Amino acid sequence: MSEKNKTIGILTSGGDCPGLNAAIRGVAKPVVEKYGMKAIGFSDGYRGLMEGNARGLSPDDLSGILTLGGTILGTSRESFKEIQKSPEKIEKMIENYKKFELDCLVVLGGNGTHKTANLLSEKGLNVIGLPKTIDNDLYGTDFTFGFHSAVDIATEIIDRIHSTAQSHGRVMIIEFMGHDAGWLTLYAGIAGGADVILIPEFPYSIDRVIEKLHERQSEGKKFSIIAVAEGAMTLDESKMKSKDYKAYYTSLPFPSMGYKVAAEIAAKTTLELRVTVPGYQQRGGEPSPYDRVLATKFGTYAAQMILDEKYGKMVAIKDNRITAIPLKTVAGKLKLVPRNHSLIKAGRMLNTSFGQPR
């Protein structure tokens, strides 16, 4: 089949993040303008594919979106577990793939998105994945687009908190996104000079955290910065079964992890504490130049894969080289912070505390 007769579909699924529009542009602009293919955008993720809610993407649609945050296609969270046990949803997606006469479906998303992408690939559809998430926890790629933008935002928040913490001599606790993986908190914590960094992969001891705060006081440092991931947990909590921990956590009288850590410190010290939860600010706004470049590289690489008819893969960056890996090796796997990661080693050299029990 000639390139001009091909039709590609594009959708963005899961949480939004900076760089989605840059990636859409990276895929669609060359296939539409350079190779004369037809591009269709499905609204609101897999839901749009199920409902057949789509529109053509013209050169005008792809103009001026490189720096735009969010996604021009809209997004939604469609649970993979729900899709997996709903044959009718799967059939509707396959039906609409055929109805729109797609030669390839390009999906932009994180872990859940790529599980569904792999499922559709196994059903015989031509699928290509692009890795996005501010959590950077997608297996098989060194970085996801959206991550560096979120690190920039989170680091700026720490920078701004530093001055008010120093002025008032307070312990400032800043809670960042990351349920299962602590990449965002780790990178922002190191970049912002946090004194304590608490992430899900390293269960903490509140006594070790307090020890670090008292150590700084004894050195004449009147303030401290604690960067905590929303999924951080104590050593005892980490030993609980997932179901038991969820029931336990939802029963706690705290709105989120940052407030829990503050309460734990307050119960054992007289330190003045404040909590900041930037929340969705970390996902909003325009992408950083790094993410614009990365998303563009991912998108154009996917466009070349479409030309070469190399489907069933996710575009990735490994050792600073753009490549592609099978969807089946990505689906269902999380990339967590390893104990020997270079930033963990750097933090320890700088006397940063990770709250580790002795």
Active-site residues, by number, are 135
**Nearest to residue 40, comparing CAs of 57, 26, 25, 24?**
57
The total number of residues written for the chain in this structure = 358
**Nearest to residue 62, comparing CAs of 88, 93, 37, 90?**
37
CA distance between the termini of the chain = 64
**Nearest to residue 63, comparing CAs of 55, 54, 72?**
72
What angle, 0 to 180 degrees and rounded to 10, lies between the N-to-C axes of helices 147-168 and 289-308? Answer: 160
How does DSSP assign 182-222, residue by residue?
A: -HHHHHHHHHTT-SEEE-TTS-B-HHHHHHHHHHHHHTT--
Within 8 A by CB and 6+ apart from 81, the residues are: none
Measure Cα distances from 340 to 186, 337, 347, 348 in Å: 13, 8, 11, 11
Task: Identify the three-state secondary structure at position 242.
Answer: helix
Scan for tokens 């600010």, then name that residue.
Answer: 281
Measure Cα distances from 69 to 16, 106, 286 in Å: 9, 19, 4
Alpha carbon 54 to its chain's center: 25
Alpha carbon 358 to its chain's center: 31
**Nearest to residue 109, comparing CAs of 64, 46, 51, 178?**
46
CB 10 within 8 A of CB 27: yes
